[in-house]
Chains A and B, each alone.
Chain A
Amino acid sequence: MDRAAAQRRADQVRAFQQELVLLEREGVFTPDPALRHRLAAHHTALLDGLARQFDVDTTPRTAQLSLGMRVAALLGAVALIAAVVLFFLRFWGGIPVAGQVALLVAAPLLMLGIMAYATTRPGARPLAELFALVALGAFVLELSALQSIFALRESPHGFLAWGALGLALGHGYAFRGPGTAGVALVAWWLVAMLAEATGGTWRDPVRVPELAVAAGFVLFGLGMLARLRPPEMPPSYRLVGLTAAFAALLLLATSGSMNGLGLSRHAAEIVYQLLTLATSAAVIVIGVRRGWRETIVAGAGAFLLLAVIKSVDWFWDWMPRYLYFLTLGLVALLVVLVLRRWRLAGRPE
């Protein structure tokens, strides 16, 4: 059992307990005292075990506190990364090069050590994720500062190293924040390498935007794999993959001259507008069927962005402003009605 499965089980137990109270109150079902006692004892032991082993939330109150801790942890991570960078800048002028290197290497290792310790403490998971983010930030600082100290040639491979650490933290410790950053960094590196391989340079990764589209959908495909563990990671692959793919598709749909297929500007824009429409619709359908919220958001976002961009192109100069916004509002209303119909269709008869 992993943490996500443990949280699902804890939620089921909580829902069962609440429903049992209602059934008793409505006079539908009243368990005898011995059964009630056995059930209560079993659930208490089960929830205690899950909380100890997987650090899951076992009551609505702990769930709310966890959310608060996660928000505070994110803000704290940003502030601590800034503190690490500014601390280094404040003192490095008076430190010899060997000392600078030692300090730079020690910073991410120290943060990883604190993170590893926090993972062993009960209820300290958000704190552990905070230090994982700070470790990633310190690692970015380390390689960037080494490049400055030794005037090393600029290279895209730093993104691979940072992405690898993010992925290791995401897959190894089920931390969603560092994991998502890792997927994004490796995706950028991959697109940059594809640009190099096709005659361009890594400094211009969108030289052939179709490469970003392909890489984005490959990541989305990886995020669809049921085998991908832990369950915190697939949504990161799907979100980063779709964001990259749709950003590149929208670029091609509006600046067709950048296409790498040799099409004329006008032809490319039509082809990529149709492709964006078709893929965003397909992605929304996949998201609705599988219950993937980030997939639905990415698909609907791309669809609406294209609709807004193209409607400005087509109608802004041609119609009165009030009519333009009225049409846009009606289109949004139509989307809501279609989604409502889907929602009702999903209800039991």
Chain B
Amino acid sequence: MRARGWVVVGIVLLATAVALAEALWNRSAVGRETVLTDREAPISGGGRDETARWMRLEYVAPTDSAWGGWLGTARLAALGADTTVDAVRRRQMDARPAFAVLEFDGPAWQDYVVERIAGYERTLVGDSSAMRRDSLLTLFRSGLERDSRLIMVDAGPDAAALAARYPDPARHLILPAVVRTFVEHRFVGPSAPVDTVLGSRVELEHRRLLVSDEQVRVVREPSGAAGYRVTLATGRSHAPWVRKVEPE
């Protein structure tokens, strides 16, 4: 084979080696480990044209209509985003690498449940039948009991600093993410009909994780219908993977 042949083969092998080395280095040590349930980590896939099975992280992301969105201007500035009005007018969108913190079944989830139920009760105030109101509320509560208990609570540029702030791996997941800022317009009133607001959103880089055929057998077996636990690990570079799937 001539030199040009070795060059093209070398490029493919070198790029593959770099990607595999990164993967091996990440998985050479378990940094944090969190056990979730099928409420937070439902497994699906395995269709005719795409046979892989995926675990999808379900979580609640907070919203806030203040300038800077739910992350706030201080956190956005720490990520390197310019949140001044002039900069936002010039660049209406921005995307920066970050780490997101997701809290599992903690105070943030309890507050969220209380807030959702209170909000639903307010919408039922006009309903004249007390019995109907109670049954609707029960239905709503049971719906919440099937929902994911993961809530996004923080994001920052430094995973080590976040790990120090949230030291309990059973309670807090720290995952690679992208923080996006964008401009929103909203109507505020006749004197100033449109207000410009800087919003923010945090997206996990890998919300779907591959699950092996062996792991997924637990979900497929009849006993799997009762539910299952998923052990999610993150490694040296904080990239996550599914370590175990066990029956509940």
- A-side interface residues toward B, CB under 8 Å? 86, 89-94, 96-97, 101, 104-105, 108-109, 112, 116, 135, 139, 142-143, 146-154, 158, 161, 164-165, 168-169, 172-173, 199, 201, 203-204, 207, 257-258
Residues B52 and A168 in contact, CB atoms below 8 Å apart: no
Asked whether A150 and B90 contact (CB < 8 A) given A116-B5, A168-B11, the answer is no
Per the bound structure, the CA–CA distance linking A149 and B97 in Å amounts to 20
Identity of the chain A residue whose Cβ is nearest the Cβ of B241 in the assembled complex: A151
**9 CB-based A-B contacts, threshold 8 Å:** A89-B50, A109-B12, A146-B16, A152-B26, A165-B11, A168-B11, A199-B80, A203-B95, A203-B178
Give 9 nearest A-B pairs by CB, closest first.
Answer: A93-B51, A172-B4, A150-B23, A161-B15, A203-B95, A151-B206, A93-B52, A146-B19, A89-B50
Q: How far is the CA of A151 from the CA of B14 in the complex (A)?
A: 19
Whole-angstrom CA separation of A104 from B52 in the bound complex: 15
Query: Is there a chain A Cβ closer than 8 Å to B209's Cβ?
Result: yes
Contact B90 A258 (CB under 8 A): yes
CA distance A152 to B27 in the complex (A): 11
Query: In the bound complex, do residue A204 and residue B8 qualify as a contact, i.e. CB atoms below 8 Å apart?
Result: no
A89 touching B49 by the CB < 8 A rule?
Answer: yes
Contacts of B199 in A (CB 8 A): none
Question: How far, in angstroms, from A108 to B22 measured CA to CA in the complex?
Answer: 21
Q: Which residues of A contact B213 (CB under 8 A)?
A: 93-94, 96
Contact B50 A93 (CB under 8 A): yes
State whether B8 touches A152 (Cβ < 8 A).
Answer: no
Return the CB mask of B66-107 against A: 1 if under 8 Å, else 0: 000000000000001000000001110111110000000000
User: In the complex the two chains form, what is the Cα distance from A199 to B79 in whole Å?
Assistant: 11
- Among residues of B, the one whose C-beta sits closest to the C-beta of A172 is B4
CB neighbours of A135 from chain B (8 A): 8
- Across-interface contacts of B5 in A (CB, < 8 A): 112, 116
Tell me the nearest residue of chain B to A149, going by C-beta: B210
Asked if B246 CB lies within 8 Å of chain A CBs, one says no
**A contacts with B: majority SS:** helix
Which residues of B are found within 8 Å of A104, using beta-carbon distances? Answer: 16
**Is B45 in contact with chain A by the CB < 8 A criterion?**
yes
Tell me which residues from 21 to 50 in chain B have a Cβ below 8 Å from any Cβ of chain A. Answer: 22-23, 26-27, 45-46, 48-50
Q: Is the CB of A201 within 8 A of B97?
A: yes
Q: Does B156 contact A (CB under 8 A)?
A: no
Complex interface: chain B residues within 8 A of A90 (CB): 48-51
From residue A271, how far is it (CB to closest CB) to chain B in Å?
16
A152-B22, A153-B239 as given contacts; A94 in contact with B11, CB under 8 Å: no
Please tell me which one of the listed residues B11, B80, B97, B239 contacts residue A152 in the complex, with CB atoms under 8 A apart: B239
B215-248 with Cβ < 8 A to chain A: 237, 239-241
Contacts A89-B51, A172-B8 known; A150 to B15 CB distance under 8 Å?
no
**Chain A residue contacts of B209, Cβ below 8 A:** 151
Return chain B residues, CB-CB under 8 Å to A143.
15-16, 19
- Contact between A112 and B237, CB atoms less than 8 A apart: no
B8 contacts which of A86, A101, A112 (Cβ < 8 Å)?
A112
- Interface flag for B205 (CB, 8 Å): yes
Given contacts A101-B20, A165-B11, 16 further A-B contacts (CB under 8 A): A86-B49, A90-B48, A93-B45, A143-B16, A148-B210, A150-B22, A150-B26, A150-B241, A152-B22, A152-B23, A168-B8, A172-B8, A199-B80, A204-B91, A257-B89, A258-B91
B95: A residues at CB distance < 8 A: 201, 203-204
Assess whether B19 is in contact with A152, with CB atoms less than 8 Å apart.
Answer: yes
- In B164-218, the 8 Å CB interface with A consists of 176, 178, 205-206, 209-210, 212-213
- Partner of A169 from the list B8, B45, B49 (CB cut-off 8 Å) is B8
When chains A and B are docked, how far (Å) is the Cα of A139 from the Cα of B19?
12
- B114 on the interface (CB 8 Å rule)? no
Q: Which residues of the other chain, B, contact A89 by a CB distance below 8 angstroms?
A: 49-52
Evaluate contact between B53 and A93: CB separation under 8 angstroms: yes
Q: Are A116 and B11 in contact (CB under 8 A)?
A: no
Tell me if B161 is interfacial: C-beta within 8 Å of chain A.
Answer: no
Shortest Cβ gap from A309 to chain B (Å) = 20
Contact of B1 with A by CB under 8 A: yes
Q: Which residues of A contact B205 (CB under 8 A)?
A: 151, 153-154
Contact A112 B9, beta carbon cutoff 8 Å: yes
Q: Write the chain A residue with the least CB distance to B239.
A: A151
Question: Which chain A residues border B27 with CB–CB below 8 Å?
Answer: 150
The reply to whether A105 and B8 contact each other, CB–CB distance below 8 Å, is no
Residue in chain B with minimal CB distance to A139: B12
Question: Chain B, 95-123, contact with A by CB distance < 8 Å: what is the 0/1 string?
Answer: 11100000000000000000000000000
Q: How far is the CB of A165 from chain B (nearest CB, A)?
A: 5
Q: Does B7 reach chain A (CB closer than 8 Å)?
A: yes
Residues on the B chain within 8 Å of A112, using CB:
5, 8-9, 12
Whether B90 contacts A257 by the Cβ 8 Å rule is yes
CB distance from B140 to the nearest CB of A (A): 35
